Structure 1
Amino acid sequence: MPSATLRISGLVKRYGDFVALAPTELEVPAGEFLTLLGPSGSGKTTLLSLIAGLTQPDEGRILLGDEDITYSAPYERDIGMVFQNYALFPHMTIEENIAFPLKMRNVDGATARKRAVDALELVRLPHVAKRFPRELSGGQQQRIALARCFVYQPSIILMDEPLGALDKKLRDQMQLEIKRIHRELGTTIVYVTHDQEEAMTMSDRICLMNGGRIEQLGTPDDLYFRPSSLFVADFLGESNLLPGRVMSASPGGLDVALAGAGPTVRAVGEGDAAVAGRAVKVMVRPQNVSVGPATAETQSLTGRLTDVMVSGSLTKLYMAPLIDGMPPLVAAYPTRPGAARYAIGQVLALDWAAGDAVVIADGASLA
């Protein structure tokens, strides 16, 4: 399947005085899987609609390969679209549904049927060719919607929350299927979701949006372990955000005095955060926090256990800090037999490695 680089330059969309998409620059290399992630109203669906041609921009340009498609009609763009609701024709067989885009492009019947069969093989459903959509499960229908999009080999495929209607187990299976198909075809995919785990699992890069702007663009590891702002740190996954002030900064790291007469901790940071005297937040992910019973010699942060939650593979401990000015604390570790059990109300000591603590300028971006 051919693929193409998508380039977006100065793209803007307004509705009256409301700016749905502020001036946006974005490049998606050929063959990349990019996810647009963000809360409701962040601009991700607006950006996808502009790329698809379903909405016209007020400013800026969209290029697909060497072609300017900014004001092209949707059917004139070499773009495929996969929706959440499948949009299969109920009166057509599965084979006819998949072959329909080829028919609309005047591909001869024999070639269309062969490519439809090949597409069914790709999604591992060759046995359902003569069935109708109503005879398939939700997961099977979604795979058919994928096959119908792939069959005419567009340069880029847009996916608008395609797994939103599926239950969690089926959604997890479909994530693996889409990743497998992407690897096999190498096509460019732009995927919209509000599901953080889905974005982390599937993407080469994530474009996290907020208020009609790109908040951070990078690999899942970049956003999760090196967030550029408090919004990114707070939005993507669970985190402890501990207020403090930088006491000293050196190439080897930062010394940060935590608020409320808390301990001084070692952390990493850069840019605006790596300045002595700067008010910051120290981000520590729950799985990087180790806990144990507090003792008279404990020098680390302490908290009183308020709740324990077992969420399948992870056990989470929620604690009220014993220092004023600290937010509630959380630690997480793999659920396993024989793990230490702590009583509600017990005072625990929290610790972490200096490299797992990332300093973020309070109210400002590191970038």
Structure 2
Amino acid sequence: MADKLVITGLTKQYGQFVALAPTDLRVAQGEFLSLLGPSGSGKTTLLSLIAGLSVPDGGQLLINGVDVTHGAPYERDIGMVFQNYALFPHMTVEDNICFPLKMRKLGESSARRQAAQALEMVRLPQLARRFPKELSGGQQQRIALARCLVYRPSIILMDEPLGALDKKLRDQMQWEIKRIHRELGTTIVYVTHDQEEAMTMSDRICLMNGGKIEQSGSPRELYLRPRTLFVADFLGESNLFAGVVTEVQGDEVRVELAHAGSRVRARCSAALCVGRKVRVMVRPQNLCLQAGPTDPTNPADMLAGQAMRGQVLDSMITGSLTKVYVQTAADTPVVVSYPTAWPAQRHAPGQELILHWNAADAVAVPE
């Protein structure tokens, strides 16, 4: 698909502090892109530069093929949705939504008609005559979204719009935003520090760290095939075992684990060579628990060394998942998770266990 937004070498500094290193990014027409990362990673700086709220120190920014690098926000055909809603308290819901249309010199009747359509889109037509103070937080956020959608901007920028909502309402709003995105095919750039939110909503995630893009790809790619240690550690929960590459065979490597002295197989998403220090990442849900000593006749224990011995430290039910923390020879306790169910085996502290996993579920990432 055609590129809606093209960023080339865009950079921003505040004195000696580099808020955004030279950055290249393309966003396709109709794509939902999330800018994800910890505080200070550069995601809000990048969004501000796209919006025209900050002036870049270098680089170029194109929207619909037009250079708007130094253009004013109103010249960019963008809409913004903020965390604090930014609704006018003295205006009704309908007037709030009509406001951007009136600023564009649209007639009264046309503005009212389009506002009604926008309210239908967010499923709140019955609230047209109310004032913002009479709405819940979720309703106010949907009205803010309707006000942004009503004039059909080329790109919608969202800066942590669901951060002030409770979890249940946030989950509902995620679904609503995705539904509207599918129906309209609008291009959305969405800033969040919530990993689950980014994984749930995005076509593509741009994970940022230290003012630069660490890795960009689909949620599946970043979660299952991280290319750096930061990505493996930041996105989701993971167990990371230190080791050294001893053999390379295409996209698979053999790694000698530092703490166990055994060799395991793992996939690799980045180029690796023999002797390279790596971490072998295994997600908690991909680890299996087996009580008692290893049985060499059991195929589950003969996974080319894909196993280690440990002792239960603790177990807890977190809701849909039960987590077991196991102390092995590794530096930190290993986390194992599985679906919570009444018949599931209970693991008492001190119990001896064998952990094992499939080589296809392990990924070697460079130190």
Asked whether the equivalents of residues 226 and 269 of structure 2 are also in contact (C-alpha less than 8 Å), the reply is: no
Asked whether the equivalents of residues 320 and 328 of structure 1 are also in contact (C-alpha less than 8 Å), the reply is: yes
Q: Residue 293 of structure 2 aligns to which amino acid in structure 1?
A: T
Residue among 271, 275, 278 paired with 1:277: 275
Query: Is residue 2:342 matched to residue 1:337?
Result: yes
Q: Residue 310 of structure 1 aligns to which amino acid in structure 2?
A: I
Q: Report the equivalent of 1:100.
A: 99
1:68-87 deviation digits (Å, cap 9, x = unpaired): 11111112220000000000
In structure 2, runs of 5+ residues without a counterpart are 296-300
Residue among 347, 354, 357 paired with 2:352: 347
Cα distance between partner residues in 1 of 2:251 and 2:66: 47
- Do the aligned partners of residues 271 and 201 (structure 1) sit closer, same or farther apart at CA in structure 2, a change above 3 Å counting? closer
- Do the aligned partners of residues 10 and 177 (structure 1) sit closer, same or farther apart at CA in structure 2, a change above 3 Å counting? same
Q: Report the equivalent of 1:365.
A: none
Q: Residue 8 of structure 1 aligns to which amino acid in structure 2?
A: I
- Do the aligned partners of residues 296 and 354 (structure 1) sit closer, same or farther apart at CA in structure 2, a change above 3 Å counting? closer
1:69-116 deviation digits (Å, cap 9, x = unpaired): 111111222000000000011111111111110010000011100100
Return 6-15 or 264-273, whichever deviates more.
264-273
Asked whether the equivalents of residues 227 and 270 of structure 2 are also in contact (C-alpha less than 8 Å), the reply is: no
Q: Report the equivalent of 1:45.
A: 44
For normalisation by structure 2, the TM-score amounts to 0.95
Provide the aligned C-alpha RMSD in A.
1.4
Matches for 1:1-367 after TM superposition, within 5 Å: 5-251=4-250, 253-273=252-272, 275-297=273-295, 300-321=307-328, 323=329, 325-362=330-367
In structure 1, runs of 5+ residues without a counterpart are 363-367
Cα distance between partner residues in 1 of 2:269 and 2:46: 31
1:337-362 deviation digits (Å, cap 9, x = unpaired): 20111101112111111100001112
Cα distance between partner residues in 1 of 2:251 and 2:19: 42
For normalisation by structure 1, the TM-score amounts to 0.95
Asked whether the equivalents of residues 3 and 26 of structure 2 are also in contact (C-alpha less than 8 Å), the reply is: no
Cα distance between partner residues in 2 of 1:271 and 1:154: 38
1:185-218 deviation digits (Å, cap 9, x = unpaired): 1011000000000000000000000000000010
1:205-243 deviation digits (Å, cap 9, x = unpaired): 000000000000100011100001000000001100001
Asked whether the equivalents of residues 281 and 361 of structure 1 are also in contact (C-alpha less than 8 Å), the reply is: yes
Q: Percent identity?
A: 65
> Following superposition, which runs of at least 4 residues in structure 1 exceed 3 angstroms of deviation?
296-299
1:317-356 deviation digits (Å, cap 9, x = unpaired): 11111x2x54320011111120111101112111111100
Q: Residue 302 of structure 1 aligns to which amino acid in structure 2?
A: R
1:80 counterpart SS class: strand
1:113 counterpart SS class: helix
How far residue 276 of structure 1 moved from its aligned partner, in angstroms, is 2.3
Cα distance between partner residues in 2 of 1:319 and 1:112: 62
- Do the aligned partners of residues 249 and 294 (structure 1) sit closer, same or farther apart at CA in structure 2, a change above 3 Å counting? farther
Q: Report the equivalent of 2:298.
A: none
1:5 counterpart SS class: strand
How far residue 252 of structure 1 moved from its aligned partner, in angstroms, is 6.7
Asked whether the equivalents of residues 242 and 327 of structure 1 are also in contact (C-alpha less than 8 Å), the reply is: no
2:177 counterpart SS class: helix
Q: Residue 217 of structure 1 aligns to which amino acid in structure 2?
A: S
Cα distance between partner residues in 1 of 2:216 and 2:269: 17
Asked whether the equivalents of residues 4 and 31 of structure 1 are also in contact (C-alpha less than 8 Å), the reply is: no
2:271 counterpart SS class: helix
